[in-house]
Structure formats: structure tokens, C-alpha cells
Amino acid sequence: MNPLARFGSATTAPAFGGELPLGCDPLLAEPSPLPESCLAFSHGRAALRWLCERSGRFDCAVISAYTCPTVPALLEKIGLRLRLVDVFSADWEQAVGSEKGRLLVVAPAFLGHEPAVDVSRLAAAVGESGLVVIDAAQTAFGHLSFETAENTAVISGPRKCASLGDGAILRMHRVSEEERARVKRLPWAIEAVAAKLAARSLMACRSPENEPDALAFTARAEAAWPDAPHRVSDSGLWRLSWLDPKAHADARWRNWKALEQALGDHVEILRLPGGTPFNLSILVEDRAAVLARLHAARVFATALWPNARRRHDLHPRAEDLARRLVGLPIDQRYTEADMLELAKRVRRCMRR
């Protein structure tokens, strides 16, 4: 018997979106350990902070103007000067070339898709003293998808894309035994993990009455994630070892394609290549009103990064996405039939 079977099985939720419930992930027949080049942390900021401390002081961070605002906040907190580049811009190399000192470049694998920049060229541009990090925080297995070289690294976010309590994976070109031992000695984020698992357990009950409590636990978890380096919990690493990367990606692409086809020309869809999609991103006007209608229809879509660190005059594409982007759920708990029902609800909300 698969040892995770007692945690439940994937089912159709009474609503679309919200916290991933325990038991919704496709599993392997046997656990698969992390590659030797990987280290496991509690969450993405913990991995990034540890990597910066391990690499020595950087002078400037070149980052996307459209990213989770916790990223620039952390980099400023540790004393880095920020250079923002518009999302999907061709100016990354120019930005790197115009900055002085040791550079950290955080290149986004945007919402789970392939990076829109040439990582190898950026790595050459920052030189041996610099570092390029592929931010794959909206993927469960970006650490398996993207290659690393001497001055590149990848950070993935399985805690965001699977029903785990915690987990972010840092992949580097090589990891020493001393570094592995240092990470194992770190504390783990007890409060955040407990709150996250409570939220997922409540969502697994498939009861609308439990949803407010699940949301409250989710908020508690997000507020409790520390900025300092923390390792993944033992249970989080064990759960991660059982997840099936191929079935995970197949399910998300299957659902993305089904929803994209069902929505057709009814909405403006942001279509990006490669990777594993975090959601299906649509662009809407009057986003607050659209979200209110979607929530009333029990579609808990997400407005992504209205508070992204950007300037409307310098970063027009980031400004547009921060104002209009809505993420629709396509994760592994759902089937193609679920996507057809979701599309019906979305179309009704868009017609009003």
C-alpha cells in the first residue's frame, strides 16, 4: 500500500481555487530522493537568503519589475541596490552591463514557464564574481527542469504547487558536504508549517463551511514565514520525495489546455511557452469587479501582484500585468471536466 494513501485522494472541490487540499497530488510507486546538487529549504525567501549569505556580499540585484514583492523587500533588507527590468524585456543584458560591482540577477521563470531571458548569456555578462538565479518559485520541480552552471542556480517552490506544508529547493552546480550539513542544522518553520497543513486538511474535507477557517490558517502561515534561512521539515521532504514530477506536469498542462480551449475568444489569455504552468493567466479590465463576480460564483481566482515593485513610466508591461492579470486554477486536483465547468462560470462572469 502506498504510505500516503491515508492522506486522501484527489477529488473535485466544491469551489475552484483556494488552498491545495491534502491528497491531491499524483504519487510515485517509490520515493525519489533529491539530486545531490539540491538543498531543501522551508520556502523560497529562506533559500534565497541562504544563497546570498553563502555567496558573499553582492552590490546590486537585477530583478524583474513584475515579481512577488517579498523578493525585492528581502534583497533590500540585506543591503542590495535594486535595478528593475520590465517583464519580457530584451534589456536584461543591457541592465547588467550598466551596473557596477558584484551582481545578483534573479531571472524569472514567469508563472512556471520558461525564462524569457537567455540565462547563459546573463551568466557570461555577470562574470565569475556574479550569480544568476532562475526564480522558478511558481513550479514544484523547476529544480529538475533547468540546468545550472558555475555561476547559476535555480530556486523552485514545491510548497506553492503541491499539497505540502513547506518546501523550496535550491539547485546549484555543486553542493559540498559541509554546506549540506549546515543546512540540516538550520531550524524549520514550525508555526508556518503547522498553519499551512491545517489549511490543507480543512480544504480536503470539501466542505464550504470549512473554507473561512482554511483561509485564516493560510493567512497565518503566510505571515509566519521567516526571512532568515530555515530548512524544510522532515515531513515536507518526505512528502516531496513521493511526488510524481511527470504526472504533476501532465495534469497541469492537460488542464491548462482544456481551460484555454474552453474559454476560446471570451477572454484575453496570456500564452507563454514551456515549463509547467502555475495557472492560466487572463487579462481583464476592471479587475476588482471581475474578481468579485468570480468569487460570488465560487471561483477563487487570484489578482497577481498588484503591489509589484514597478514604475508605470519605466515598466509599462509590468504595470499592465499588475493592473489586469488574474490567475485561474488549473492544478492537479482537477480534471478536464472540471475545467469545462470552470470555463462556464468564467464566461458568465465576463458577460456581465
Three-state SS string over 271-319 comes to CCCCCCCCCEEEECCCHHHHHHHHHHCCEECEECCCCCCCCCCCCHHHH
Mean pLDDT of 110-133: 95
Residues 6+ apart with CB under 8 A from 71: 45, 48, 63, 106, 135
Listed in sequence order, the residues at least 6 apart from 242 whose beta carbon sits closer than 8 Å to its beta carbon are 2, 3, 4, 27, 28, 31, 32
- Residue 125 pLDDT > 70: yes
Q: Which of the pair, 207 or 40, is modelled with greater confidence?
A: 40
Q: 1-5, 103-107, 191-195, 233-237 — which is least confidently predicted?
A: 1-5
pLDDT at 2 over 80: no
What would the mean pLDDT of 189-218 be, rounded to a whole number?
Answer: 95
CB atoms within 10 A of CB 13: 23
Query: What integer is the mean pLDDT of 200-207?
Result: 94
Residue of 149 and 134 predicted with greater confidence:
134
Q: Model confidence over 56-114: pLDDT tens digits? A: 999 999 999 999 999 999 999 999 999 999 999 999 999 999 999 999 999 999 999 99
Query: What is the set of domains in the chain, with CATH numbers?
Result: 1-12+190-224 (no CATH), 31-189+225-242 (3.40.640.10), 245-351 (3.90.1150.10)
**What is the pLDDT confidence band of residue 12, given thresholds at 50, 70 and 90?**
very low
Q: Is the pLDDT of residue 14 over 90?
A: no
DSSP string covering 24-48: -S-B-SS--PPPTTEEEESSHHHHH
What pTM was computed for the model?
0.93
- For residue 4, the model assigns a pLDDT of 38
Radius of gyration of the CA atoms of the chain, in A: 20
Predicted confidence (pLDDT) at residue 352 exceeds the cutoff of 70? no
